Amino acid sequence: MPTIFTKGTTTVVPLLITGYSSTKTSRNTIHNIIGTALPDVTFAPAGLRTGSFELVFSTLAEARTAEDIFSTVGTVIFSDTDLPALNMTFVTNGDIKVELDSGTRAKWLVSVDFQEVQVA
């Protein structure tokens, strides 16, 4: 199975991921110094990934299970055997959207905004 979302004992496997984007925010601080063109820099590592997924499901029941996983308190594990560099633990951070695919009028789309977290 290439793509799996797991929370506790519940697992969902979308048919396809049609959208994925992530961003890392730099945490460097630039200090402008009066009288010189050269700034002073306080270096810090970039933050963890934040972004969104768009997932395709065959049935509304599967889409609602995904919505439930993303709606409840706690972390979600994302794993993809084809693209292991994308694997992460995350929390929902923003909107969770369920909609009927306008192209097929038979598949269901779930969009979710996420924030990667580190697990101790």
Domain parsing of the chain, residue ranges: 3-24+47-117
Alpha-carbon distance of 92 to 114, in angstroms, equals 5
pTM of full prediction above 0.95: no
The residue behind tokens 């700034």 is: 39
Q: How far is the CA of 90 from the CAs of 2, 40, 79, 86, in angstroms?
A: 18, 34, 11, 11
Residue with tokens 């945490």: 27
How does pLDDT run along the chain (120 residues), one tens digit per residue? Answer: 589 999 999 999 999 999 999 999 999 999 999 999 999 999 999 999 999 999 999 999 999 999 999 999 999 999 999 999 999 999 999 999 999 999 999 999 999 999 999 987
Torsion of CA 101, 105, 107, 109, to 10 degrees: 20
d(CA 65, CA 56): 12
**Backbone torsions φ then ψ of 82, nearest 5 degrees:** -80, -30
The encoded tokens of residue 9 equal 């004992």
